[in-house]
Amino acid sequence: MAAKEKYVEPTYLECGFAELDHKVVQPELCCLCGNCISFCPKIGQKDRKPTLLEYDPLCGLCYAYCPRSFFDRSHFEEKLFCRSRGVDETLGIYKTAAAARATPAKGQVQDGGVVTALLVHALETGVIDCAVVTTRNSRWQTGPRVATTPEEIIAAAGTKYTITSSVTGVQQAMDQGFTRIGFTGTPCQIQALRKVQLLDEPYQFGQEKIALLVGLFCMENFDYPRLMQGLVKETFGLEPVDVERFEIQKGMFRAISKGQAKEVPIEKTDEYLWKGCGPCFDFTAELADVSVGSVGSPQGWSTVLARTEKGQGLYDSALKSGAIEAKAVTEKGLALVKRLAGQKVDRFDRNAERMKSHGQKFDVKR
Ligand SMILES: Cc1cc2nc3c(=O)[nH]c(=O)nc-3n(C[C@H](O)[C@H](O)[C@H](O)COP(=O)(O)OP(=O)(O)OC[C@H]3O[C@@H](n4cnc5c(N)ncnc54)[C@H](O)[C@@H]3O)c2cc1C
C-alpha cells in the first residue's frame, strides 16, 4: 500500500489543545518551537510549556501545525520538491552540497559564517525584508529578534545551545508589517514553519509572508536552567557571563572562557538535554530552502545543502557576489553527515514507541 493511502491527517476540527496537551506537552515531546504560541492568540507559555489561555471549541490550529503531533514527510517533500526522496537520499532532497564560508566572516560566527552571510545577502538583494534570528544576552538567555539591518543579523551570529521559541519572532515580524520574512533555526522550527506553509488546513494567518527558511543541522538542544546550573556552574565552575562561546566538536561539549576551553564528552551532557529533542528524526533540516551545519567541512567552513530553487538561487547569488566562497565537500565529510543523520533516525525509532503510545502518526520511512 502506498504511504499516502495509509496516512490520514486529522482534520482541523478533530483535535484541539486538549489533544496537544495530552499527546505532546504532558509526555514532554514538545520541542518548544513556538509555533502554537505564535499563531494562536489563545495559547501562551508558562513554565516553558505551551498553555491554554482561553478555550476555543472550534479551533485545532495548535494541533494541526505542531511538528510533534503528526508529520507526513513525503507529503511535504512532494509539495516542496514535487517528489519525495529516493532511498539513497538520507539527507533529504538537495541540489548542491558544498563546503562554504563567508568572505570575510562578519560577527562572532559559529563556523563558516554562512548563515549570517546568506541572510545579509538575502536582505540586501530584497529576497527578504527582515530576518528572524535568535539572539542572546550576556547570560546566554535567548530570544528571537526581527532583524531589519545587516548589523542586527550579524549581532545574532553564533550558536546558542538552548531551546528557544524562535518561531514567535515570525509572528512579531508579521505584526510589524513585514511581508517577506526570512527565518533561520533548528530542524524542528523549520518543520513547524513548513507545516504552516504546506499543510492542507484552512487557517489563514499570513503564512504566505514567510519567504525563506535557512535550516541548521542539529543533533540535540539543551534546557537553559539545567545546562547553565549543572554543566556551566557546577562542572565547569564558570558563570554564564564568563562564557564567550559554546561549541560541540569531535564528541566534546566545550565552553570557551578567557581563551581557555572547559570540556566534557558529549555523552556526559545527556542530563541537560531538552526532552522533546528525543523524538526528532531530522538532523539536517530537510525541509529548509538551504541547510547549514558544522560537520562534514574543515574548521572555519560550513557544510551547505541548497535544497529548493529559492535556496539554490540564494546560494548561487551569494557566491557570485563574493559574499561567500565554496569548495567541494569531501566524500568523507558527506559520509559523516549521513552517519549522524542515521543516528538521529535511530534515536527517533527508539522514541517512536513513546510517541505511538500517544497515537501520533509519523511517516519517516527510510
Ligand atoms: C541547538 C543547535 C545544535 C546544533 N547541532 C549541530 C550538530 O550536531 N552538528 C552540526 O554540524 N551543526 C550543528 N548546529 C549548527 C552549527 O552550530 C551552526 O549553527 C551552523 O554550522 C552554522 O554556522 P554558521 O557559522 O554559518 O552560523 P552563524 O553565521 O554563526 O549564524 C548562526 C545562526 O544560528 C541562529 N541560532 C543560534 N542559536 C540558535 C538556536 N538555539 N535556535 C535557533 N537558531 C539559533 C542565529 O540566529 C544565527 O543567525 C547546531 C545549531 C544549534 C542552534
Q: Answer whether 288's CB lies under 8 Å from 46's CB.
A: no
Nearest to 40 by CA among 70, 68, 13, 66: 66
Select the CATH number that applies to the domain covering 224-272 from these four: 3.40.1280.10, 2.70.210.12, 3.40.50.720, 3.10.450.750.
Answer: 3.10.450.750
Distance of CA 175 to the CA centre of its chain: 22
Outline where DSSP puts E strands in 224-351.
245-249, 252-257, 260-265, 290-293, 302-306, 324-328
* Tens digit of each residue's pLDDT (9 = 90 or more) over 300-348: 999 999 999 999 999 999 999 999 999 999 999 999 999 999 999 998 8
- Banded pLDDT at 155 (limits 50, 70, 90): very high
Q: Answer whether 44's CB lies under 8 Å from 53's CB.
A: yes
Look at residue 220 in the predicted model and tell me its pLDDT: 95
- Banded pLDDT at 1 (limits 50, 70, 90): very low
Share the mean pLDDT of the chain: 93
Atom 6, ligand 1: residue with shortest CA distance: 218
Tally the C-alpha atoms within 13 A of residue 95's C-alpha that lie toward its C-beta.
Answer: 15
Q: What are phi and psi of 124, to 5 degrees?
A: -70, -25
**Ligand 1 pocket: which of 152, 159, 280 to mutate (most atoms <8 Å of CB)?**
159
- Banded pLDDT at 200 (limits 50, 70, 90): confident
Atom 31, ligand 1: residue with shortest CA distance: 157
Sequence-ordered list of residues with C-beta below 8 angstroms from that of 311, at least 6 positions apart, any chain? 95, 212, 214, 288, 289, 290
* Tens digit of each residue's pLDDT (9 = 90 or more) over 18-60: 999 999 999 999 999 999 999 999 999 999 999 999 888 888 9
Q: Sketch the domain layout of the chain as residue ranges.
A: 3-223+274-363, 224-272
* Tens digit of each residue's pLDDT (9 = 90 or more) over 68-127: 999 999 999 999 999 999 999 999 999 999 999 999 988 999 999 999 999 999 999 999
pLDDT higher than 50, residue 366: no
- 3-state SS assignment for residue 301: coil
141 is written with which cell numbers? 538567555
Look at residue 56 in the predicted model and tell me its pLDDT: 83
pLDDT higher than 70, residue 205: yes
Atom 17, ligand 1: residue with shortest CA distance: 159
Q: What DSSP line would sit under 180-219, residue for residue?
A: SEEEEE-HHHHHHHHHHHHS-----SSGGGEEEEEEE--S
Atom 37, ligand 1: residue with shortest CA distance: 159
- Banded pLDDT at 359 (limits 50, 70, 90): low
- Banded pLDDT at 350 (limits 50, 70, 90): confident
**Ligand 1 pocket: which of 103, 216, 253, 284 to mutate (most atoms <8 Å of CB)?**
216
Interatomic CA distance for residues 305 and 81, integer angstroms: 14
Percent of the chain with pLDDT over 70: 93
Over residues 121-147, mean pLDDT: 98
pLDDT higher than 50, residue 146: yes
Ligand 1 lining (C-beta closer than 6 Å): 109-116, 133-134, 142, 156-162, 164, 166, 184-186, 216-219, 221, 248, 292-295, 302
Outline where DSSP puts E strands in the chain.
43-46, 49-52, 70-72, 96-102, 130-136, 142-147, 181-185, 210-216, 245-249, 252-257, 260-265, 290-293, 302-306, 324-328, 361-363
State the distance from the centre of ligand 1 to the C-alpha of 216, rounded, in angstroms: 5
Interatomic CA distance for residues 143 and 124, integer angstroms: 24
Interatomic CA distance for residues 264 and 281, integer angstroms: 25
pLDDT higher than 70, residue 244: yes
pLDDT higher than 60, residue 6: no
* Tens digit of each residue's pLDDT (9 = 90 or more) over 217-234: 999 999 999 999 999 999
Look at residue 48 in the predicted model and tell me its pLDDT: 94
pLDDT higher than 80, residue 195: yes
45 is written with which cell numbers? 507559555
